[in-house]
Amino acid sequence: WLQSSLSVVRSLCVRMSNKEKSVHVGEECFQQHGPTLMFSNIKYCIQERVGLLCKKGPEKVILKDISGILKPGMNAIMGPTGSGKTSLLDVIAGRKDPAGLRHGTVFVDGRPVTNDLRLTSAYVVQDDVLMGTLSVRENLLFSANLRLDPKNHSSADKQSRVENILEELGLTECANTKIGTDFIRGVSGGERKRCSIGMELITAPSLLFLDEPTTGLDAYTANCIISLLHKLSRNGKTVIFSIHQPRYSIFEQFDQLTLMHKGDVVYAGKADKALEYFSLLGYQIKAFNNPADFFLDIINGEAESTLELPATGKPHETLITIVVCVLVLLELICATDAYTNVTRVPGPRRRESEREAVLNLLRTPQTSYAQWALTVFFALLVGLIYYQIPLTLPEGLQNRSGAFFFLVINVVFSNLGAVELFIKERSVFIHENANGYYRTSVYFLSKIGADLLPNRIVPNIFFSAISYYMMGLKPAFLSFLCFTLTMTLTSIGAVSVAFMVSATVNSLAMANLLVALPFVIMMVFGGFLVNLNNMLSWLSWLEWISIFKYGMNAGEYNSFEMLFSYLLNLYFIPTLTQILWETKSGEMFLQGQGIDYSRWGFWQNQVALIGISSVCLVVAYIQLRRIKRWK
Ligand SMILES: Nc1ncnc2c1ncn2[C@@H]1O[C@H](COP(=O)(O)OP(=O)(O)OP(=O)(O)O)[C@@H](O)[C@H]1O
């Protein structure tokens, strides 16, 4: 223990004596200094859940009282998988749920940070969250429009910022190329990552956090990204990132290195001194070995020390803590007031950003083509099956009620795809909402608006027009309008149920299951498959929440009732037989079904459909608000 302690103290002395020299060497290449970030005694715990009922289990400590300094330049947090790199990054960047933080403080240039570090710093997540249908330039403009205050930044200013970032990140050539989606081939992985970084640089932050920026990139592209970060770090940005196993050309660009193992800091200091430090502890690197691999071998216990280390490792840990504390103290003493230089992003401009968010989100095309094709196909199918329904009994009545059941099934089940809406873009929403791009209400309304009009309302008008006139229902235009309204409200009711499920769960498989179940129950209690008058009383309440019931009742009422027959006479002069048939037989049929035979009997169904839709949409909004922004 004494030997290893002496080695560490010696290493500290070497580092301290080199400090002056390295600062000067460093200063030569730094054109501007970023802020210094310190974290002290961070302890972070996760409440584990056990069993099917997710009962509270034991608390798991994932960061164990750790401290360190992250200086202007390139700060790498390295360690094997599960060592706590991302957790540390998230805690110091203010992205991790504060409920798990037992104690510890983060300082930026000597001042304890508050919650608004999230708005003053930039955080690039591991999985790029970009809008695939927009080009690189449009994505950057999107970020600029939402995050820069129009009082201080004119459109020309925003445009010039975007152009500067494109230039700085080497994205000029692909500026007009779309990012790409599952269906569109877009920019390369490296360009994507650079665009993600650019989105965050728009506010000119001086603290830049990145979660594993090289993951998923080939060696050359990874090197380019790190070189880019290195360049940024020389221009007044403190770059802090987690990284898994960098190759040597990447490792040599690090200024500071924090090595982690099982939630503990094993080494925190200059990257180029780490080898020296471990050699003092008896670990010798083999020729041609990559230092980054060597450090991971040490952490994983695959490298052997020539010195006998304490079995528990505790004295060593204590010493490391003392060393880190001394460094923290020294830094605190030397800390400049540079934090005032941290660019504070103005709070997101509510009204402006809302307008921009709506506009930009509306520009994201939905997968409407399939919806439209499906709508026309089913309209033609219904039209052909029930082509010109006769007025003779009993087929006239049977076909009409069968047709409405089939119509409502089509309208309801064609909305199953809507469960994707809030699941597919959940990570984008969490990232943008946490970074203050827009409020939840803005996101919700723009997504709903962008979906309802092109995917539900307009296709339903076509669906109604094709099927209605092919089936040969009442030719009165007002009757057709009532039919279209019924089908549209039925569709909105069904899609609202899908939105509610979509905002509640985060797995598509689960969502499909949860949305199909209520639809099937609603179908059974719709009144076509079972006569609702003879139903078990304790089950019969389910009919009141059945979209099928309201859709079919309103449709049948509209088809059989003579409410508009005077208009029918007025405009279309139908045959007397038709009027008589539709009023007499229809009346009897409606009575048999227990459908209210009054004017309110028609409108109460529309009110009920609006009610169901409103409740589901409100619940969907509440569920969206409840989504955890924290990691
Ligand atoms: N929200 C959470 N819920 C449960 N466990 C968590 C949570 N966050 C972190 N952990 C656990 O904490 C430990 C550290 O996780 P973390 O993601 O920080 O590791 P990492 O070093 O970044 O790993 P990787 O390189 O695989 O991303 C892991 O064991 C992980 O399972």
The pLDDT of residue 364 is 53
Residue 319 clears pLDDT 70, i.e. is over it: no
Question: Is 86's C-beta closer than 6 angstroms to any atom of ligand 1?
Answer: yes
Across the beta sheet with 256-261, what order do the strands follow? 122-124, 207-211, 238-243, 73-78, 256-261, 264-270
**Which residue has the CA at smallest separation from atom 26 of ligand 1?**
81
* Mean of per-residue pLDDT scores for the chain: 78
Cα(88) to centroid(ligand 1), Å: 10
Highest mean predicted confidence (pLDDT) among 316-320, 439-443, 512-516: 512-516
Q: What percent of the chain has pLDDT over 70?
A: 76
Residue 298 clears pLDDT 50, i.e. is over it: yes
Residue 502 clears pLDDT 90, i.e. is over it: yes
Q: Which of 521, 511, 505 is nearest to 412 (CA)?
A: 521
CB 451 within 8 A of CB 502: no
Residue 150 clears pLDDT 50, i.e. is over it: yes
Summarize pLDDT for 429-444 with one digit per residue, the tens. 887 777 777 788 888 9
Instruction: Work out the pLDDT band at 628, boundaries 50, 70, 90.
Output: confident
For range 468-493, the mean pLDDT: 90
Summarize pLDDT for 91-127 with one digit per residue, the tens. 998 888 888 888 888 888 888 876 666 667 888 888 7
Question: Is 46's C-beta closer than 6 angstroms to any atom of ligand 1?
Answer: yes
User: What's the CA gap between 170 and 182, in Å, rounded?
Assistant: 25
CB 186 within 8 A of CB 178: yes
R_g of the chain computed on alpha carbons: 33
| Least trusted range by pLDDT, from 415-424, 513-522, 584-593 | 584-593
Summarize pLDDT for 515-534 with one digit per residue, the tens. 999 999 898 887 777 776 67
- Per-residue HEC secondary structure of 44-71 comes to EEEEEEECCCCEEEEEEEEEEEEEEEEC
Cα(264) to centroid(ligand 1), Å: 13
Residue 563 clears pLDDT 60, i.e. is over it: no
Question: Is 81's C-beta closer than 6 angstroms to any atom of ligand 1?
Answer: yes
For range 4-17, the mean pLDDT: 47
Residue 573 clears pLDDT 70, i.e. is over it: no
Q: Is beta strand 256-261 parallel, antiparallel or unpaired with respect to 73-78?
A: parallel
The pLDDT of residue 324 is 54
Question: Is 87's C-beta closer than 6 angstroms to any atom of ligand 1?
Answer: yes
Kindly report the pTM of this predicted structure. Answer: 0.66
For range 454-482, the mean pLDDT: 88
Cα(511) to centroid(ligand 1), Å: 26
